[in-house]
Amino acid sequence: MLIYLIVFIEGFCSLGAEIIALRRLVPHVGSSIVVTAPTIGFFLFALAIGYATGGKVVEGHMWRVARNFLLAGVIAGVGLAGSTVDAIFTHLRPGLLAYLVFIAAVLCPIAWLLGQTVPILTNLMKHSHVGQASGMALYWSTLGSFLGSVSLSVFVMQWFGVSTAVLACATGLLAGALMLEHRRWPQVVVPLLGAGTVVAANLAPIAAADTAYADYQVKALTLPDQINPRVFMSNGSHSSQLDDSQPPKTHRYVQALRQALLVELGFKDKDILVLGAGGFALSHGETLNRYTYVDIDPAIRAIAEQHFLKAPANGEFIAEDARRFVAGTERRFDAVVVDVYSDRASIPSHLVTREFWAASRRTLRPQGVLMANLILDSKLATPYARHVLETLESVYGRCDTTVLQKGQAFANVIATCHADSQPSAPGIYTDERNQADLEKFGVRIR
């Protein structure tokens, strides 16, 4: 029975380490398919080498697995700690180099060490034939993988944070090592020392919280003419800015959104949908309109209220993926504000497609307006910038585009689109065929 328990722990912690690694990478390289797919591929490659290595072990089976569990537990507990991953991406440039170092020094060694478990322990299983022994070993390992991926991502990370998931994974491996080798005091002391190291690595203080979706921090700023200014950071990016003035001073792009909604459009007693809650700064202190925030992280409201706003957030909050919400809701709004970022400057790829913009338009009332905060190059010259705007205008027609920081390489770009406008085929005036004088007065000749 001990062997089955060890194999179960291996499955639970190996896939758990992979899930945690993918989550730790989000603030630094995002969560797009071009990141997750290679990460999973490297993990499986190291796991395959581990299978081959374990199949060559012919003696000292229990000792070998105990040693592997001890090493994997320490590597997971220290290497997957938030402070360690942050240090790797802070001190190594470019980001691709940091990513490869993380994969090679943390994730792959864990997979290689744990991949040896099933081939080694199959030798000790007493069954009538080899197929039955390997089948039972794979059953318990895969069952552990299933429970590890589900429990760590759906329950542990959601309720207790990523650091707790790291501790659970590392502690399970160290406990497995202790169960296998506990007859002499060195075999007891070493796993306990490893556990102490793991706990210390995951006790680094954070300003707010780390959840299944993001790392949140609140940092104080020093700005002239502001009272207690602070910034709400999500996955390393400046998500919202606020101070204690009345009315509060906010980030420039939030001021631009407020100016457009309240002054230029004259919104009063309107329903405004905000996709991407950030720090709930858009509606802070604003009582003229009704706000509904949609964000994928169910913990973000409590974190923002406690550490950033220091007051209840103004508006309704719905914990749901933005695209899923706009695709399924029957509610209609006078304005939709899109402010969705997964890391420093990356909108999740499923939120820049034509299908997403079409679903967002469906939630608008006939005279409604969409305002999207985009982080693009300030010249709007890169393929990404051009294609994001072209995709948006293929649904809404011509949108007003305002670049807020023209002197910087990357800037907040506010795109304003109207539900009652329509996309049209491009047209060019030439000396040979010039309809400018007619079209000034709304006359269109095809």
Domain 2-205 has CATH 1.20.1250.20: yes
Record: fold of 215-418? Rossmann fold (3.40.50)
Q: Tokens 């899109």 — which residue? A: 338
| Delimiting residues of CATH 1.20.1250.20 domain(s) in the chain | 2-205
Q: Which two tokens stand for residue 8?
A: 């179960």
d(CA 369, CA 392): 13
Dihedral sign, CA of 323, 350, 370, 306?
A: positive
Average pLDDT over residues 53-69: 89
pLDDT band at 187 (very low <50, low <70, confident <90, very high): low
310 or 192, higher pLDDT: 310
At 185 the pLDDT is: 45
Which among 326, 312, 212 is positioned nearest to 276, based on CA atoms?
326
At 68 the pLDDT is: 93
Pick from 40-44, 45-49, 247-251, 427-431: least confident: 427-431
Residue type for position 393: E
pLDDT (tens digit per residue) in 189-217: 555 665 566 666 666 555 457 788 888 88
At 341 the pLDDT is: 73
At 217 the pLDDT is: 86
Average pLDDT over residues 398-419: 92
At 382 the pLDDT is: 92
Q: At what angle do helices 2-29 and 33-55 cross, to 10 degrees?
A: 150
Q: Which whole-number Å values give the CA distances from 174 to 14, 102, 254, in the listed order?
A: 13, 22, 48
Average pLDDT over residues 307-320: 93
pLDDT band at 234 (very low <50, low <70, confident <90, very high): confident
**Are 71 and 113 within 8 A, CB to CB?**
yes
| Delimiting residues of CATH 3.40.50.150 domain(s) in the chain | 215-418
Q: pTM of the full predicted structure? A: 0.82
d(CA 310, CA 381): 40
pLDDT (tens digit per residue) in 355-395: 999 999 999 999 999 999 998 899 999 999 999 999 999 99
At 410 the pLDDT is: 87
- Long-range interactions of 131-136: CB distance < 8 A, separation 24+: 136/4
At 183 the pLDDT is: 58
Average pLDDT over residues 281-291: 92
Average pLDDT over residues 404-420: 91
Check whether 182 has a pLDDT greater than 70: no
d(CA 53, CA 187): 24
Check whether 4 has a pLDDT greater than 70: yes
Q: At what angle do helices 61-79 and 185-201 cross, to 10 degrees?
A: 20
pLDDT (tens digit per residue) in 239-278: 888 888 877 888 888 999 999 999 999 999 999 999 999 8
Check whether 125 has a pLDDT greater than 80: no
